[in-house]
A and B are shown apart, each in its own frame.
Chain A
Amino acid sequence: MPEKEFASLKERLLRGGVAPRQVERLLLELKTHAAALLDEEIARGQPLEAARALARSRLGSDDEILAKALEQRALMSWGARWPVIVCALLPPAGLLALSVGTVSALVAIAALGQHWNSDPASWGLGVWPWAHQGTLLIAWLALYGFPVLCTLLLVRYTVTRRLGLAWPLVGVLLTAALGAWTTFTVAWPQAGAQGRLSAGVGFSTDWDSLMRFGVRWATTVILALGLYLYMRRREHEVWQALGKHRM
């Protein structure tokens, strides 16, 4: 059975909304079944090419297999079943959860540190210099890294499942906006003053804030769209290599 033929079916199943895991498993079983049918036809004395054609006919056409797979809603990816929730709402919600989780983890670590070190004077840089740098790094990641991470994961999810761009684009724009609105500050404990970790979502109309918002939002969106275009181009090249027109 030509590998190309299954590659075409794979692409059509993905474009139909079947989850990649299900597609891989389906193709694995189809290939195994096709090989068994081929062996059977050859054992009956058919020449190789005729055996191939008979095996393919017994397996069913791509159209039939595709139609049967699309009947099974359980085989569809979540993004194909609930595009608004998965592509538009889940990414910003995920970013929010990631940010809240990070702040909570840092607060918990700080609380544990205070519990073990009851002397407030020793909470500063002298005791845990790595903790200061580490906290700043995590804060930087939360501010700039998490929105990019969430949008890139969304883009990868969208392309690997061949989803339409509309809802994922809404998801990217919302996630980038939420990321750009998020503030995350760390005030390290000083002698006589307690440290403070804070996070929030806010929007300011002063020019500097608007500029910062715009740069962060645009950076995230551009990176996400860049990855989307790159992945789609590669996918298009693969599809063209199969000698098929885009669906």
Chain B
Amino acid sequence: MTARTSNFTSGVSELLILRLLSEREMYGYELAKTVQAVTRREIRLGEGLLYPTLHGLELEGLLRSRRESVAGRPRIYYRATAAGRKRLAKLMYQWRRASAAVSSALGEKAHA
């Protein structure tokens, strides 16, 4: 098991959450699993930490949710709104710039 990534900042979690939820709706447990899968388990966070971020994004109007009960357990499904997709585009642009800048500082060649 990879150690939990301590510098998993809220900006990065916001980016990942918006990216995944702009593709399809997911509930928290499913989202946590998907984050691990798409980051090849390199990024691990306390899975419960997803929820404050999800709720904050929803209150900002970047996500919307719907509640459903599955096998007697409540599930809240989230998906990105149009405003959320706009924010995602902005965050992706910022991330790529920052990533390119760090790579440059480390003396790595830019990817084609």
Q: What residues of chain A have their CB less than 8 Å away from a CB belonging to chain B?
A: 22, 25-26, 28-30, 32-37, 58-61, 64-65, 68-69, 71-75
Contact = CB atoms under 8 A, between A and B. Distances in A.
A72 B10 CA distance: 10
Nearest to B45: A60
Given A33-B51, A37-B29, A68-B52, 18 more contacts: A25-B76, A26-B52, A29-B28, A30-B48, A32-B75, A33-B47, A58-B46, A59-B46, A64-B48, A64-B49, A65-B46, A65-B51, A68-B53, A69-B52, A72-B52, A72-B55, A74-B56, A75-B56
Contacts of B51: 26, 29-30, 33, 65
A159 B22 CA distance: 39
A60 B47 contact: yes
Interface residues of B, number: 20
A18 to B, nearest CB: 9
Contacts of A26: 51-52, 55
Interface string B21-53: 000000011001000000000000111110111
Main secondary structure of the interface of A (DSSP, over half): helix
A60 B49 contact: yes
B59 interface: yes
Contact of B49 (A32, A37, A68): A68
A60 to B, nearest CB: 2
A33 B28 contact: yes
B29 A33 contact: yes
A37 B56 CA distance: 23
Contacts of B52: 26, 65, 68-69, 71-72, 75
Contacts of A32: 28-29, 73-75
B60 A74 contact: yes
Q: Which 10 pairs, one residue from A and one from B, show the smallest C-beta to C-beta distance?
A: A60-B46, A72-B56, A74-B59, A69-B52, A59-B48, A60-B48, A68-B52, A68-B49, A36-B29, A65-B48
Interface of B: 10, 28-29, 32, 45-49, 51-53, 55-56, 59-60, 73-76
B32 A28 contact: no
Nearest to B56: A72
Nearest to B44: A58
B57 to A, nearest CB: 9
The residue among B32, B47, B56 with the most chain A CB atoms within 10 A of its own CB is B47
A71 B48 contact: no
Contacts of B76: 25, 28-29
A33 B53 contact: no
A149 B92 CA distance: 51
A99 to B, nearest CB: 34
A64 B56 CA distance: 16
A64 B32 contact: no
21 contacts: A22-B55, A25-B76, A29-B28, A29-B76, A32-B28, A32-B73, A32-B75, A33-B51, A34-B48, A59-B46, A60-B47, A60-B48, A60-B49, A61-B46, A64-B46, A65-B51, A72-B53, A72-B59, A74-B59, A75-B55, A75-B59
